[in-house]
Amino acid sequence: MNTAVIVDVLRTPSAKGKVGGALSAVHPATLLADLLKTLVTKHDLDPALIDDVITGCVTQSGEQALNIGRTAVLAAGFPVSVPATTIDRQCGSSQQAAAFAAQGVIAGVYDVAIACGVESMSRSPMFSNAGTKDPSTGPLSTRYPAGLVQQGIGAEIIAARWKFDREQLDEYAARSHRLAVDVAAPQQSAQIIGVSTTDAAGEPVVVDSDETVRAGTSVGSLSRLRPVFESAEMSARFPEIEWSITAGNSSPLTDGASAALIMSEAKAAVLGLTPRARFHSFSVVGSDPLLMLTGPIPATEKVLERSGLRLSDISAYEVNEAFAPVPLMWQSHFDTDPDRLNPAGGAIALGHPLGASGGRLLGSMLAYLEATGGRYGLQTMCEGGGMANATIIERL
């Protein structure tokens, strides 16, 4: 059986996913194409050797429609023989892309693959590809007659049922920004690729740092923000909710792209490339689509069972910070070392460009393992519709 290794992980900076955000003037296919070109150029890799480019993207409409992965491959100038596909596992799309790429290598279908992701939430807003935000009003109405809820409500339900109060959520959010400044910035600078664009005045500029990180964020400043999902309808339906999810303890709308160069260990040796890590274990699960965000718990249990490892064997746990209650719920359930949980900050500070977030987490985890000498890292991500992926890598 082949061993699937990670040669490199690169990403763009995370930018505010709204009009006027630092990357909002860049077409999403261009954002990804430039990243792909940088990845192969950095390693002097002939792109004709790439067997597939697997691309995560959630809002596949407008500029992100019609297989944006293939559009980006062609825009990058790769040979027309290089194929690409675009997949949607919601927030875990590029994590799933990496799993598919690695599994293809392990199976002997691929020698070299790129797993990547892109999301321009400023140019292709979330839900713009849906006729309704609630699919349960249509084909799922019989199974879920009361209707499903959006993720923010799911986060509120989790906060209530796990008894996390507003102060705990804000404390966690402030921690994310603090670690992003103190830990992520020095560890991850080598993986961030500057993006050429124009500023508000139309002048050329290179964006080379994360716009979403707010240095000096405190519990006091976060406490002044109002809950964003509160409604009389949801209060009546879920009376346990205390309305504590704000823009400050949630991940921001974000523009960004990520890409990982994955190949067989044997191919890396032939090409003279030094792998940074190998893929160890994978899992993907479904979970309650009403709560939606609880999937990282069974995904973690499943990947640990498959790996033969214990959480105490793992140096870093990347649990996507879609909302503060998600990693707090995970930590509460497993009762493990809190210092290993998102030790370089997470999506609350570093952004959540949906289809690209899995790659960002992978790069963050790998950089942390290399900086600290850790051996294993576990990455897991809650996903819309009630799903989650989990991946374990081993630093080489």
| Helices 296-307 and 325-334, axial angle in degrees (round to 10) | 40
Q: Rounded CA gap, 297 and 285, in Å?
A: 10
* The dihedral formed by the CA atoms of 259, 265, 270 and 273, expressed in degrees to the nearest 10: 50
**Which residue type, as a one-letter code, is found at position 21?**
G
Element (H, E) at 383: strand 376-383
Q: Rounded CA gap, 290 and 278, in Å?
A: 35
352 a catalytic residue = yes
Length of the chain: 396
Neighbour-count burial for 262-288, b at 16+ CB within 10 Å, e otherwise: bbbeebbeebebebbbbbbbbbbbebe
> What is the number of alpha carbons within 13 Å of residue 122 lying toward its C-beta?
19
Cα 17 to the chain's mean position, in Å?
A: 15
Catalytic residue among 91, 116, 177, 280: 91
Catalytic residue among 57, 116, 177, 382: 382
116 a catalytic residue = no
91 a catalytic residue = yes
Residue positions annotated with a catalytic role: 91, 352, 382
